[in-house]
Amino acid sequence: MNEIVESLQPRFAGIKPRESSDHPAIQCPVGFILPLIECLRDEFDYKLLSDVTAVDWGEEESPRFSVVYHIFSIKAAAHIRIVADCEDDENPSVPSIVSLFPAANWHERETYDMFGIRFEGHPDLRRILMWDEYPYYPLRKEFPLAGIETELPDAEIAEETRAKVLAAPMMGGPFVAKEGEPMSRSEPRAKDQSWTEWSKKTLEEE
């Protein structure tokens, strides 16, 4: 499974196989991202970039952010995963791979939007889902699902309607079914999580 990693190791000092339950995975220092992915693309036929995303390991962890690339080889019908830990936990950044895969453009913008990881050398690093002035990075661990109160994107409309971006009422949620229980008990409604803001849950959280 890890022949590729072994054959690459002499050329890229510091890369190592990474524990994975599915595809072969490489732990890669940030500095090797560009040459490693270029090598995989040109010499190992990993020509289809299927995903760029990131992981936030939590505020206390260091390294806190890892960027994850999934690349697919059409010839071998196989994926490979490359993971790079960002060196800076406050202002994480990695080199952009748009020069190798144009498809990475929007993936990197989304990762920047959600995690605040800067992709150095990206031709147009703007937010893609949230609006440009939005002050938070929603997929970071400290960001609550309900959101944080802030201003609407359009100041004129905000003044006219006096509306704001408000934290969503969670009403006992998030309503996520738990694993490993029968449906009758794992479904949120089974816990009598109330649909109103004011009444209490009858069953205790386990």
Partner 1 sequence: METQSSQVGYNSKVEGDVIVTKVDAVINWVRKNSVWPMPMGLACCAIELMGVAASRFDISRFGMEVMRFSPRQADCMIVAGTVTYKMAPVVRRIYDQMADPKWVVAMGACASTGGMYRSYATMQGVDRIVPVDVYISGCPPRPEALLDAMMKLQKKIEKEPSFKQLGKETEEKRVWA
Shortest distance, position 184 Cβ to partner 1, whole Å: 21
Kindly tell me which of 76 and 157 has the beta carbon lying closer to partner 1: 157
Which three-class secondary structure state does DSSP give residue 110? helix
Q: Does 159 bind partner 1 (CB under 8 A)?
A: no
* Nearest alpha carbon to residue 37 among 125, 92, 87, 101: 101
Report the length, in residues, of the chain.
Answer: 206
CA separation for the pair 134, 153 (Å, rounded): 8
Q: Does 138 bind partner 1 (CB under 8 A)?
A: yes
Residue in this structure with the two tokens 């939590």, named with its chain if needed: 58
Supply the DSSP symbol for 189. G
Sole binder of partner 1 in the list 74, 76, 168, 177 (CB under 8 A)? 168
Kindly tell me which of 76 and 177 has the beta carbon lying closer to partner 1: 177
CA separation for the pair 34, 84 (Å, rounded): 11
Q: Does 147 bind partner 1 (CB under 8 A)?
A: yes
Q: Does 177 bind partner 1 (CB under 8 A)?
A: no
Residue numbers at the binding site for partner 1 (CB under 8 A): 129-131, 136, 138, 143-148, 152-154, 156-158, 160-163, 165-171, 173-174
